[in-house]
Structure 1
Amino acid sequence: MTGRSAPAVLPPSLRAWLGLMASLAALVVVVLGVLYADDSKPGKVDARIGAAVDGVGPPWRHVALATDFLGEPVGAATLVVATVTGCLLLRRPRAAVLIVAGVGMAVGTATLLKSLVGRTIHEGNLSYPSGHTAFVTALALVVALLATGRLGLGRTAGTSLVLAAALVAGAAMGWAQVALGAHYPTDVLGGWCTALAVIPATAWLVDRMADWLVVRMADAGRRERR
């Protein structure tokens, strides 16, 4: 008996697959960080992709700016507040906690890595990994995990939904960042993988802590009744 009073934010059927995904994503983040440490120019892949995407004109530039706004402080805060409110209305407090903790950890990790890696773009701005991409991908992952639990999806369907949500969100924000010239494509990949590595681990920790608190409260209640 676990004493769980609320559904897990990391469905048991997805733990193994998402754990593997998180490990591979972390490896990609490290490898790219080592490759582009203290660099200030695009790599070959960056140059090819950037040439096709960078500098888009209207109306796509307006779309890119609107997408970029979602990763800015005001836009990001609005998304987080709206999503947390939705979780609370659905009586999913663990998911609300995961949004705050998971998104915060993803963005915090990206910020820390920027200082450690030291890759720059446009007059010395730290660029690796993309914090905007990490934020949006992390939020999409949490929402997908909540949907998986609510719908009772199995391993295959649940994993597909989580990966699809991460891919769509990461691709949209990544395109915007490259199109606006704010990041290199490999910065975007690093930000995407940062979220993929952080969210499953944070979800597991949230579940463990919540279960521990439930058991402690149950034990305290039994002692009071004696």
Structure 2
Amino acid sequence: MARSTTGTTPVPTPALAGPTSLPDRRSRLVRPAARGRVAVIALAAALVTAVLAGRYAGDTRAGRTDRSLADLVDVQHGAARLLAQAFAALGGPLPVAVALLVLAPLAWVLRGGRGLGLVLAGPPTAMVTTSLVLKPLVERTRGGELAFPSGHTTSVASLAVTCGVLVLGLTAVPRAVRLLAVAGLAGLVVAVCAGLVVRGYHYPTDTLGALGVAVAVVLGVALAVDAWADVVADPGPDPRAFDPGERPTDVLPRASEG
């Protein structure tokens, strides 16, 4: 509050604008009421990837599911094939690196340390899981290259899921706008998957397995970041609430209530 120049009547001081004034900066990535559902979704996604990995381990050919899905996006030539190549290229190292560099500071501004932690841990963990763990373990190949899960799909999908988590938590933004943004991200991921299949880089089930990795890892990291941040942010019982004259057996119940 400030005093007016003509008297002593308090004059409201305008609030300073800045990152700390954003209502969602200190909020959890996942609402406590939604944590159970998010955990179930992450486990279901991991199960899908595990089932596909077991089915196609060591395989080199397209399965029945692959052939059925590939028929839906069968494009042999023309502008559609060029567009497919453009979408497929979005999962390359350079576009992914640029996306991470842009997303990290944006997540810090909008969602604080939790958002930054999700960006720095979520997509990279998903990419490492695909490239260094699952691909050598499953050993499914196409054209002599390890194919399951799709690394390009994992990169794009993990970034999209991360953006979705960040956007859905922006309560200051209208819900319809947030859902529209998530739908756009989902459409982008589908386009990348289709592009990879059209160009013959991956079987459809390679992209499905990658989607499972991205969803499971990023949502799992979001829950872990929230849990860790809650522990760090909890100051514990207030020492001033204890009376030195009380016995320990009298103090403990009061500490647990706080």
Q: TM-score, normalised by structure 2?
A: 0.73
Unpaired stretches in structure 1, ≥5 consecutive residues = none
Q: How well do the aligned residues superpose, as a CA RMSD in angstroms?
A: 2.9
Count of matched residue pairs? 214
**Stretches (4+) displaced over 3 A:** 159-167
For residues 14 and 53 of structure 1, what CA distance do their matches in structure 2 show? Answer: 35
Q: Hey, what does 2:150 align to over in structure 1?
A: 130
Q: Hey, what does 1:13 align to over in structure 2?
A: 33
Q: 1:161 to 1:109 in 2, by over 3 A?
A: farther
**In the alignment, which of 55, 59, 64 is matched to residue 79 of structure 2?**
59
Unpaired stretches in structure 2, ≥5 consecutive residues = 1-24, 240-258
The answer as to whether partners of 2:111 and 2:166 remain within 8 angstroms in 1 is no
**SS of match in other structure, 2:105:** helix
Q: What percent of counterpart residues are identical? A: 33
Q: Larger C-alpha radius of gyration, 1 or 2?
A: 2
Q: 1:166 to 1:38 in 2, by over 3 A?
A: farther
The answer as to whether partners of 1:140 and 1:165 remain within 8 angstroms in 2 is no
Q: Hey, what does 1:139 align to over in structure 2?
A: 159
CA apart distance, 1:38: 0.3
Residues 111-148 of structure 1: CA deviation (Å, up to 9, x unaligned): 110110000001x2000011211221111111111121
Map 1:1-226 to 2 at 5 A.
Answer: 6-90=26-110, 92-111=112-131, 112-122=133-143, 124-151=144-171, 164=183, 167-215=186-234, 218=235
**SS of match in other structure, 2:35:** helix
Q: Hey, what does 2:16 align to over in structure 1?
A: none
For residues 220 and 68 of structure 2, what CA distance do their matches in structure 1 show? Answer: 34
CA apart distance, 1:161: 7.1
For residues 70 and 89 of structure 1, what CA distance do their matches in structure 2 show? Answer: 25
The answer as to whether partners of 1:120 and 1:127 remain within 8 angstroms in 2 is yes
Q: 1:31 to 1:166 in 2, by over 3 A?
A: farther
Structure (1/2) with the larger helix percentage: 1
Q: 1:86 to 1:161 in 2, by over 3 A?
A: same
Of structures 1 and 2, the one with the larger relative CO (CA 8 A, separation 6+) is: 1
For residues 162 and 178 of structure 1, what CA distance do their matches in structure 2 show? Answer: 25
Q: TM-score, normalised by structure 1?
A: 0.83
